[in-house]
Amino acid sequence: MSHQTGIKANNELKEFFRCCRDGSIRAIKISINEEQLALATHTKDKQSDVWDKCFDKVVLPLVEENQPCYILYRLDTKNDLGYEWLFISWSPDTAPVREKMLYASTKASLKQEFGNAQIKEEIRGSIMSEITLDGYNKFKKAAIAPAPLSSREEELQELKRTEVHTDYNITSKQQTLNGVAFPITQAAETAILDMIRNSYNYLQFRIDVDEEKIHLVTAENVNIDKLSSKLPKDSPRYLLYNFKHTHEGDYMESIVFIYYMPGYTCSIKERMLYSSCCNPFTATIGSLGLEIEKKIEIDSDLELTEKCLYEEVHPTKNLHRPIFAKPKGPPGRGPKRMIKGQNS
């Protein structure tokens, strides 16, 4: 696992982050200065420009040939928390190795300071062409395009398709025996990878019913006694929590996946989608390298306590099973009848 540098945003940058989300700022450049994340410069938005039309003329002047930096570029799309942003990590090949390592190790801290849930995508660049609009579009196409398969892999894929797929619905969406696999956003994938690096111990996700995608709601570090307060009262959620505890004298960390469905306050469609997407989503999490030790389904935030999690991760084993007792017969059935043998 990678190690974080401990470098945090200075007060000026924190204050700027609080004020830059109203749509008036198009780009923010952040540098590491005196072991702090600092605001280098920013570019105001021209209301007449859409994000892709002004991308190159805003981003390219912000980078220096031999000096790494971070750039947050505001897109025109929004999620529940406001505008979505593109995170650009600029680390040119000509920069000193120590500088490149410092910026790579501090990236997760900056994203946490800004808010992972508002970062839609992330690109990395070591040459100028990779952080142009054309480079960004190529990155998106490469992320969507499947890796080429060998002839043997194609045969196995076709065999799996014919065995597992059971039906097509009226919208021709493929259904599987294990559920419906909605894609996850880049922010959700990045947060899962950051959890592997111990950047966070708590992730919360939601399904966008209209968009049919799984979005990151929040990524943070939460004490177990505050866990229940993070849940909405009337909306389902998926949670990932790194449960740190001791068991039989040993310190342990257990990744727990929690499927939260608050009673019957949700629509039938939401209940069906969250239930159907649960298994494919946990499979996606596993494919990214995060091993889930325990899956839990709850319908109340009151179930998110240290005791409940401990009992789920380490269930009590019943070593003294009661001897099976034959139940008594129905009352009033009369005495047993004697059946004579055939040779008597």
Lowest-confidence pick of 44-48, 213-217, 229-233, 286-290: 44-48
Tell me the average pLDDT of the chain.
83
**Is it the case that residue 177 has pLDDT exceeding 60?**
no
For residue 315, name the pLDDT band (cuts at 50, 70, 90): confident
Per-residue pLDDT, averaged over 42-70, amounts to 91
CA–CA gap between residue 268 and residue 239 (Å, rounded): 21
For residue 173, name the pLDDT band (cuts at 50, 70, 90): very low
CA–CA gap between residue 161 and residue 258 (Å, rounded): 29
Tokens of 15: 């204050």
Per-residue pLDDT, averaged over 97-101, amounts to 86
For residue 134, give the nearest of 253, 52, 257 by alpha carbon: 52
**Is it the case that residue 151 has pLDDT exceeding 90?**
no
What dihedral angle (degrees, nearest 10) is formed by the CA atoms of 175, 181, 182, 185? Answer: -160
For residue 71, give the nearest of 99, 91, 95, 51 by alpha carbon: 91
**Is it the case that residue 179 has pLDDT exceeding 70?**
no
On whether the CB atoms of residues 263 and 270 are closer than 8 A, the answer is no
**pLDDT for 330:** 66
**Is it the case that residue 327 has pLDDT exceeding 90?**
no
Q: Where in the chain is the domain with CATH 3.40.20.10?
A: 11-144, 160-313
CA–CA gap between residue 145 and residue 4 (Å, rounded): 32
**Is it the case that residue 189 has pLDDT exceeding 90?**
yes
Q: Phi and psi at residue 114, in whole multiples of 5°?
A: -75, -40
CA–CA gap between residue 28 and residue 4 (Å, rounded): 22
On whether the CB atoms of residues 274 and 308 are closer than 8 A, the answer is no
CA–CA gap between residue 214 and residue 182 (Å, rounded): 7
On whether the CB atoms of residues 230 and 205 are closer than 8 A, the answer is no
CA–CA gap between residue 188 and residue 283 (Å, rounded): 14
**pLDDT for 146:** 58
For residue 194, give the nearest of 118, 260, 105 by alpha carbon: 105
Tokens of 71: 């750039």
> Which of 173-187, 253-267, 322-336 is most confident?
253-267
**pLDDT for 97:** 84
**pLDDT for 168:** 37
Q: How many other C-beta atoms can be found within 10 angstroms of the C-beta atom of residue 28?
A: 22
**What is the residue whose two structure tokens read 């004298």?**
249
Q: Where are the beta strands (DSSP E) in 140-201?
A: 167-168, 174-175
Q: 160-313 in CATH: which number? A: 3.40.20.10
Q: Where are the beta strands (DSSP E) in the chain?
A: 25-32, 37-44, 69-79, 82-90, 119-125, 167-168, 174-175, 202-208, 213-220, 237-247, 250-260, 294-298
| Residue type for position 150 | S
For residue 335, name the pLDDT band (cuts at 50, 70, 90): low
pLDDT above 90 as % of the chain: 51
**Is it the case that residue 331 has pLDDT exceeding 80?**
no
Q: Using one digit for the tens of pLDDT, what is the confidence trace for 260-308?
A: 998 777 777 888 889 889 999 999 999 999 999 999 999 888 888 999 9
**Is it the case that residue 342 has pLDDT exceeding 60?**
no
**Greater confidence, 180 or 287?**
287
**pLDDT for 178:** 54
**Is it the case that residue 132 has pLDDT exceeding 80?**
yes
**pLDDT for 324:** 58
CA–CA gap between residue 71 and residue 59 (Å, rounded): 8
**pLDDT for 190:** 92
Q: 11-144 in CATH: which number? A: 3.40.20.10
pTM across the whole model: 0.46
For residue 165, name the pLDDT band (cuts at 50, 70, 90): very low
